[in-house]
Structure 1
């Protein structure tokens, strides 16, 4: 008798990194998956699937690999969201709007702004030239400019919520909200929240998104991982 082994998507990377976004999407979709938190950036384990050496990486059937968090979120929504291609109007709106619709165009536009403007030209510059300055060189002027650019871009996104909220694309939660929440949390962790921390619209938006069961589960995944890492580090220090 042939026994068929069920193959589930595998996501590589610590929940402390942008992998958190992918884990949240997987939890929203409610599908079975495997998480490999030990896959470290620039390791041979990661470079086997992503020549750039970065996480997250999504792997299916040990053959197909996809990297870049935005691409992974969109792919997961297209492939696994039962609400995406269904004609049943009683189902919830899809996490990624159907390709070829205006809603998808706005989704792609917003995702691009989040990834290229808010993340790459803002938050990542801080990480690259301050937090990891010992590796990439400390450039305080670049970091200061990046913070100003982050605030400028964030004002546009905030206005988008005010115009059509309660989410970035209107009444329905989507993949872009996952990325935006992650970026807002990241900015708070480095003290870049001074321009938005008291805004009632963003505070309400944060509470709305973070009250979702999938977010709470993903946060627990990260907390459990941090606890395991701390226990391992404490044990190593005792040896």
Structure 2
């Protein structure tokens, strides 16, 4: 087995990949580099993390990394990503696209740019307010779907749940959740879903990595 190295701090988006690796139960090394460090820039000209090294192979983007890992280590544990070509894989890709574009890029990242990092990108309260509402609207849609399919987004736990829970946790940190914008009948669905995912052993091990000092 080629060496697996994940570069980036578990305090940010690389947490998604730490959790995934813990679910897969494969050996890996975490190098908690911060964005734009010399090591990061040497492998990713954007200066962003996470970066995965699997032997001589290097890739970026947290969602893509998790899909790759599930395919590369298929058979180690119950499937975390459905097989390519299946309808369930299509549903998985749909969920991932929704979470990354609608929750992360159009929601949480707007807050980070125009609130948390407003000194660099400018303070635009209206944009943040609209992003928060868009985030909650999308969460309502996903929760309604979750209520129909069972305990997890695809019925069984998958890498899509890792992405969603990370976004929901992030929203909690910035006080977007809990929110009155979450439909009242869906609030118990959200609470029970988070409790279920947070109790997973792999999640707890990933949290321990997040709490570790750089």
Indicate the TM-score class for this superposition, using the shorter chain for normalisation: over 0.9
Secondary structure at 1:221 match in 2: helix
* Larger-gyration structure (1/2): 1
Shift of 1:44: 2.2
**2:43 aligns to what?**
49
Contact kept, 8 Å, 1:15 with 1:23, in 2: the verdict is yes
- 2:6 aligned with 1:18: no
The answer on whether the counterparts of 1:11 and 1:56 sit within 8 Å (CA) in structure 2 is yes
Deviating runs (4+, > 3 A) in structure 1?
195-198
| TM score, norm. by length of structure 1 | 0.84
Higher relative contact order (CA 8 A, sep 6+): 2
Aligned to 1:86: none
Whether contact under 8 Å (1:197, 1:203) holds in the other structure is no
* Unpaired stretches in structure 2, ≥5 consecutive residues: none
Partner of 1:75: 68
String of CA shifts for 1:86-124, please: whole Å, max 9, x gaps: xxxxx73x1010000000000000000000111000000
Worse-superposed segment, 113-122 or 189-198 = 189-198
Give the Cα separation in 2 of the matches to 1:207 and 1:196. 17
Question: CA offset at residue 81 of structure 1?
Answer: 2.6
Q: Name structure 1 gaps, 5 residues minimum.
A: 1-5, 84-90, 230-239
Task: Select which of 117, 121, 125 maps to 1:132.
Answer: 117
Distance (Å, rounded) in 2 between the aligned partners of 1:52 and 1:129: 20
Deviation at 1:52, TM superposition (A): 1.2
CA RMSD of aligned residues (A): 1.5
The aligned runs of 1:38-187 (5 Å cut-off) are 39-61=33-55, 63-82=56-75, 92=78, 94-170=79-155, 172-187=156-171
| Cα distance in structure 2, aligned partners of 1:165 and 1:111 | 18
Compute the TM-score of the two structures, normalised by the length of structure 2: 0.94
Q: Is the CA contact (8 Å cut-off) linking 1:97 and 1:104 kept in structure 2?
A: yes
Task: Give the aligned partner of residue 188 of structure 1.
Answer: 172
* Alpha-carbon distance between aligned partners in 2 of 1:120 and 1:49, rounded to the nearest angstrom: 23
Alignment deviations for residues 20-75 of structure 1 (CA, whole Å, 9 cap, x no partner): 000000000000001001x11122211222121111110122x3111110000000
